[in-house]
Each structure stands twice: as structure tokens, then as C-alpha cells.
Amino acid sequence: MKIEIHNGRLVDPAHGVDRKTSLYIAAGKVAAIGEPPSGWHPNRVIDASKLVVCPGLIDASARLREPGFEYKATLESEMQAAVAGGVTSLACPPDTDPPLDEPGLVEMLKHRARSLNQAHVYPVGALTVGLKGEAITEMGELSEAGCIAFSHADAALADTQLLLHALEYAATFGYRVWLRPQDAYLARGGVAHDGEVATRLGLAAIPSCAETIALDAIFELVRATGVRVHVARLSTHEGVARVRAAKQARLPVSCDVAVHHLHLCDVDIGWFDAHCRLVPPLRSTRDRAALRAGLADGTIDLVCSDHAPVDDDAKQLPFAEAEPGATALELLLPLTLKWAQEDKVALPAALARITSEPARVLGLTSGHLGAGAEADVCIFDADAYWKVERGSLRSQGKNTPFLGLELAGKVRYTLVGGQIVHETAG
């Protein structure tokens, strides 16, 4: 299959490319850019003259809900949502049921994902058995099975001695560890940011120091062990400042923010809107501003969807009882574009946060469109508006705080390994 993506605006942040040109794809790879290879006879020509052509998006956190939570979502539904959102690679956290703590589970997930022939799935293994925080997992076996990193997802890990040992063990073999910075005790029972809104609504609160204390502990452990740590889901302005300082001190750390936290804050909870029940909690406008600025200046390496499909029954409950999470795979691109447009971040810099930067943090060779690269491509209309509605989302999870909102940025084509896996009419 030879595909010519004709005359699009090619934005390839990894190579500093942003120009009108054509992309020639053959045998699943980028065969040429600009000038066609000799004897070029494409099977398909995509007119991209009004479209942006960029590397397929890489989402550093998307829950597919398999195994164990198939009533919330299935691999089939979520992989369709991924490619509809231009996402060609995604990392899935280990908080399935059972958690991804055994090689067999990881192999099965990889096998199921491969057979669907859509986005690439990169499992993140559980750092401790059953995510219970008691014993470290067989990280070697899990790595061989396909885990790209190890994390504790959102499960509490209060035992810092165990965390130290887990990091030492990971450092021994060069494994990457992803940690969500939240002190288990300070966050206990909390469902909202400790501020004016939680006070007014009478919601149990999580103070910002739950994040900063955890960050301080993580950075100390990084210093002690030398392990590479990725900090998942920053939520506070104090946290952004700490990551900035850690990077200045040349600690081997990276970090991300969930796309919701770029646009929403605790005020959006309104009258107990369970769509805004997220983990970490939506914090203040000041925190949101710092997260946006941190993403722009590179303190925050990447933005992820933190996709978490939740069924309606689990959302139609009083705020604190509602299950946290929101569907977001299909919103990662438009919400990143919205941030870039509002904060005057250039398109290549914005797309880097969802392509080349996550590729670097995940340790993938994809995320760019140089000659010879895997042809994972996202082709989108940056000016096309669409309305976020239950019916317009492919994910089985229909719950998002952005329901009803019109967003710019419609994915027209998604290619994985040179195959068109998603296309919609312009």
C-alpha cells in the first residue's frame, strides 16, 4: 500500500519541520518527503491541502479498562476512540482488575491490542503486586512481556521504605518508574482541592501539600537511587515550581499534566458536577495558570488525556461517591490546540507535547516523521469545529466535563504503520 499525503502542512516537531509539502508512504514507513521516490505510483492520494499532517499522537495515559472493567469500556471501543482522536500509540496504566502485575496479563493485553490492528498499546506495569504497596513485582519478566515502565497508578503507596527499594531495584536494571505525587495520608478521603470551593460545597479536601510533600520525597529518592522517574499528573503551582527546580538541579525527571487540568479548575465543579470529579482534583485558577505556563516553557514535558471511561451509573451519584475520571482520548488533540491558541503557543511546540515529547519519555522510536520512520500519522483540520456530544464520541465512556462544548481540531485521517485506520469526510 502506497499512500501520498498531498500538499499538507507537515508539522514534525522532532525535526523542526513546519511547511507545506507532501509525504510519501510505502511499506508502512515514510518513504520520502517533498519529492516522490522514483517510479512512484500511489494506491491512494490524500488531499491534505487544507489539513495539518503530524506524527500520530502519543498518549501517555489512557485506560482501556481491560482486563476486568469491560462494562466500562472494551479494547475495541477504546482503540477506535484512540484512532478517531489521532492517537496512534498509548500507554495504559496498570490499574486494571487484576492489575498488570503478571507477564501473562501484559502479553494478553498486547496480543489483544495487536489483533485489533489499530493504535499501538504500551502497558505500564504495576510497581507492586496487586498495587497493594507490599511487594515489588517481577519487573524483569514484565519488561520482557512489554511493559515500558512501572507505576502505582492512582493507588496509594504510603510505605516509603518499600518505594525506596522499588526504585533501587528499577534503577539496577534501568527501568523507568512513573509516580503520581500524592501523599497517601494527606489525600485520604479527599475529593476536591482544599480551597474556597470545597469549603463552600462541604466537600472533603485534598491540600496542595499532599502533592508537594510527595514530590519532595520522590526527588529525594531519585537523588538516592539515580532512577529515572516520570511524575504523572501534576496539579499544583507549587508542584510545577518543584519540578522546575529539580530539573535545574539536573535530576533525571520528567513530568506530565492531564489535559483537563489545562482548562478546568475547582470552580467548574459548579453545583456538584460529578463530571469534574477527577484524580488529581481540579485545583485553583492559579494552579491552572501555572500548569499551562509550565507546559509552555517545558517544565512539564507532555500533556496526556488521562482517559478514564466511566459508566453512567458510576457518575450519577453524589459528587464524593461518583467514580473519578473522564473520557478524553478524542479530546486530547482539540484541547491541546485550544491551550496553544489561547496561550499563543506555536503549533509545532504544542504538537511536540503530544508527539515527540511523549515518545522520548516513553522511550519509543515513533513520534516523528523523518524518512524511514514508522508511518504513524495524524491528519487533521485545525479549523473544523465539532461539538462534544455523547453521540460524537467513540469511546464507551461518554462522561466528560466538556460535553456540549464546541472545539476546533477534527481528525480526518489516522494512519498506523502506513495503514489508514480512521477517516472521516471533510
What one-letter code names the amino acid at 257? V
- Choice between 273 and 342, CB closer to another protein: 273
Pairing status of strand 44-47 against strand 17-26? unpaired
- Rounded to a whole number of angstroms, the minimum distance from the CB of residue 302 to another protein is 31
CB-based contact 327:397 (threshold 8 Å): yes
Window 189-208: residues binding another protein (CB under 8 A): 194-196, 198-205, 207
Strands of the sheet with 57-59, listed across from one edge? 57-59, 87-92, 120-126, 149-151, 177-179, 229-231, 253-258, 302-304
Least Cα distance to 295 among 229, 250, 351, 253 occurs for 351
**The only residue of 49, 117, 285, 316 in contact with another protein, by rule CB under 8 A:** 316
CB-based contact 345:337 (threshold 8 Å): no
- Rounded to a whole number of angstroms, the minimum distance from the CB of residue 331 to another protein is 20
Count Cβ atoms below 10 Å from residue 16 Cβ, excluding itself. Answer: 9
Window 78-117: residues binding another protein (CB under 8 A): none
Q: What whole-number distance in Å separates Cα of residue 227 and Cα of residue 163?
A: 12
Scanning 150-158, 165-173, 231-239, 314-322 for contacts with another protein by CB under 8 A, the matching segment is: 314-322
Least Cα distance to 357 among 89, 29, 53 occurs for 89
- Rounded to a whole number of angstroms, the minimum distance from the CB of residue 202 to another protein is 3
- Rounded to a whole number of angstroms, the minimum distance from the CB of residue 201 to another protein is 6
- Choice between 39 and 404, CB closer to another protein: 404
Window 319-358: residues binding another protein (CB under 8 A): 319-321
- Rounded to a whole number of angstroms, the minimum distance from the CB of residue 199 to another protein is 4
Buried b (16+ CB within 10 A) or exposed e, 310-334: bbeebbeeebeebbbbbbbbbbbbb
Scanning 250-258, 309-317, 343-351, 401-409 for contacts with another protein by CB under 8 A, the matching segment is: 309-317
- Choice between 310 and 351, CB closer to another protein: 310
- Choice between 111 and 188, CB closer to another protein: 188
- Rounded to a whole number of angstroms, the minimum distance from the CB of residue 23 to another protein is 45
Is 47 marked active-site?
A: no
- Rounded to a whole number of angstroms, the minimum distance from the CB of residue 196 to another protein is 4
Compose the 227-246 pattern: x for residues touching another protein by CB under 8 A, - for all others.
--------------------
- Choice between 322 and 333, CB closer to another protein: 322
CB-based contact 68:97 (threshold 8 Å): yes
Catalytic residue among 12, 59, 306, 381: 306
Q: What whole-number distance in Å separates Cα of residue 114 and Cα of residue 96?
A: 18
Scanning 41-49, 54-62, 249-257, 318-326 for contacts with another protein by CB under 8 A, the matching segment is: 318-326
Size of the site for another protein (CB under 8 A): 24
Q: Is 34 in the site for another protein (CB under 8 A)?
A: no
- Rounded to a whole number of angstroms, the minimum distance from the CB of residue 286 to another protein is 12
Least Cα distance to 90 among 413, 307, 259 occurs for 307
**The only residue of 313, 342, 383, 406 in contact with another protein, by rule CB under 8 A:** 313
- Choice between 68 and 202, CB closer to another protein: 202
Compose the 260-279 pattern: x for residues touching another protein by CB under 8 A, - for all others.
----------xxxxx-----
Window 155-194: residues binding another protein (CB under 8 A): 194
- Choice between 37 and 270, CB closer to another protein: 270
Binding site for another protein (CB under 8 A): 194-196, 198-205, 207, 270-274, 313, 316-321
Known catalytic residues are 306
